[in-house]
Amino acid sequence: MLKKQNKIIIVDNLPRQLEILGKSFFENGLGVRTFVYDQTYDEPLENVRIAFFDINLTEKTVDVSSDDDSQILKNNSPVFNDLANAINQYISKTNGPYILIFWTANKKVVDAFKLYMQDEGRGFSETASPILTECIDKTVYNGEGENSLLSDAVMELLNKHEKIKFLLDLEENSQIAGQQVLNRIYSILPKEDAWGESDKLFANLDKALSKIAASALGFEHAKFTPQKGVYEGLIPILNYELLNLDSSVDWSFIVSELMSAQKINDISSTTTSVKNELNTLYHIEEFTGQTKDTRGCVIEINKNDTDVLNLLGIENFEDWMSKLLALKQNTSTQQQRSKLIVDKAQLIAVEISAACDFSNKKNRINKYIIGILTSNLNDKIDSDVDLKIRPESCYHLGGCCFKIGSINYHIWLNLNYVFGAKPDDTILGQPQFVLKKEIMDMLGNKYASHISRIGITSL
């Protein structure tokens, strides 16, 4: 539904100036929210992208008698404290990327304020950090100076920063692509109603979306989660629209490493933490009430229950895991590391039913593959795992690490240990998360290749 837009906000203590400055955006067809500063305001906004703040929000005024940043900071600490509090009042700490613009003709004041915020002792370390901090002279746009549109000045400012323009372009084009999907769906529906009527239109829309949902997600699953079915079915159209939108961004500047590289290994790696979180973003979704027979559901199994282990054919978990991962144990230090890794590991089962059976909710005994979650391997796993002697049945899912919550996990699967069970089987413990379709398809291909490998008889 229609919601208030927080993309551009202006916070000032003078209503008349807010009216003039807000009008500057309205005349250019841009929405803006204006706020008369209120020290009791307590509803921080999300998804702010451009925020204008008057530096003098209270009776305290800025002292610019010095040109030295440290002296300006010292002279204006009370003003800066009020300003920092105001930013926390109006912008959520989880807001995301935004540009912060202050009303001042004195850039030194902005530089001093940044120093103020960077001092962790001030208590503002969790305040949403802007990706760009700038200043604009308000008098040019409030009727006291040159008659110009503030929105034009902002666009000129942003065009100087290509990577910031990209971030805003990404959000804008995603929204435009969504609008195009709506228009495209509407355009293919028969127009059978009299002008101003829409009964047949909505009936045809119902049929189209129902067919899309059932085809994309499977009939039974679409009935259970129709929103997911409809959106998954519309993703290819959304993808097409997004890829074919015009963009004023200089992409060679955005991905300069890609453009200058001769081969993929020339591209510098991101930090380990970012890589792990990207792996999770692409391949893992949270468990939010899905059933244990959901394809890709990762379920914990009690590794300390000997009856459960015996049912699964595991005589001793430590030995079984050590052999599966080929944990190094040649020295006493490696033996201690191996034991610690085993102690912290989780025994898991992953639902690996065929995608078609899952989509159509066919009656079946669900197929689960047994594996391990390790949370304390070194970043270079070969320091703990002997990759040369690791058995063929040991599959390191994705060949990567996932960051789930604050913990980094490796997922190891034993392709020789697969069993069938109903979702309410007591062997199965609590679900942890769900692996997405793409990585499950990769696992399915790996498993099919493993079980269909040709044996060799030799004399």
Does a structural domain hold residue 101? yes
Q: What is the pLDDT of residues 29-81, one digit of tens each?
A: 778 899 999 999 999 999 999 999 998 888 888 887 787 888 888 888 999 99
Within a domain: 404: yes
Average pLDDT of span 338-347? 95
| 14 and 141, same domain (yes or no) | yes
- Both 237 and 317 in one domain: the answer is no
Please report the DSSP string for 101-153 in residue order.
Answer: EEE-S-HHHHHHHHHHHH-GGGS-TTSPPPSEEEEE-GGGTTTSS----HHHH
Beta bridge pairs of residue 99 = 50, 132
Mean pLDDT of the chain: 89
- The candidate with the shortest Cα–Cα distance to 58, out of 31, 39, 77, is 39
Least confident of 203-212, 340-349, 356-365, 399-408: 356-365
> What is the C-alpha separation between 340 and 221, in angstroms, rounded?
41
Structural domain boundaries enclosing 221: 165-266
Instruction: Give me 161's structure tokens.
Output: 């920063």
- Asked if residue 207 and residue 126 are part of one domain, the reply reads no
Question: What's the rounded Cα separation, in Å, for the pair 111 and 307?
Answer: 66
Dihedrals φ, ψ of 433, to 5°?
A: -170, 180
Residue 157 — φ and ψ, nearest 5°? -65, -45
> Are 323 and 429 part of one and the same domain?
yes
Q: Residues 30, 70: contact at Cβ < 8 Å?
A: no
Task: Tell me, yes or no, whether 2 lies in a domain.
Answer: no
- Residue after which a domain boundary falls, among 206, 235, 266: 266
Judge if 134 and 194 occupy the same domain.
no
Do 137 and 187 share a structural domain? no
**104/253 same-domain check:** no
Predicted confidence at residue 101, as pLDDT, reads 92
pLDDT tens digits, one per residue of 213-228: 999 888 888 888 899 9
| Lowest-confidence pick of 43-57, 153-167, 313-327 | 153-167
- Domain count for the chain: 3
Whether residues 302 and 447 share a domain: the answer is: yes
- Asked if residues 185 and 208 have their Cβ atoms less than 8 Å apart, the reply is yes
Give mean pLDDT, residues 17-38: 85
**Residue of 69, 148, 151, 136 whose CA lies nearest to 100:** 136
> Could you give the percent of the chain with pLDDT greater than 90?
59
Residue 52 within a domain:
yes
Whether residues 195 and 294 share a domain: the answer is no
Q: Are residues 85 and 196 in the same domain?
A: no
Q: Domain boundary at 266, 284, 308, which? A: 266
Q: Would 459 be classed as within a structural domain?
A: no
**333 plus 398 within the same structural domain:** yes
Which of 20-29, 33-42, 96-105, 175-184 is predicted with the least confidence, judged by mean pLDDT? 20-29
3-state SS class at 379: coil
What is the structure's pLDDT at 246?
Answer: 85
As a whole number of angstroms, the distance between CA 396 and CA 402 comes to 12
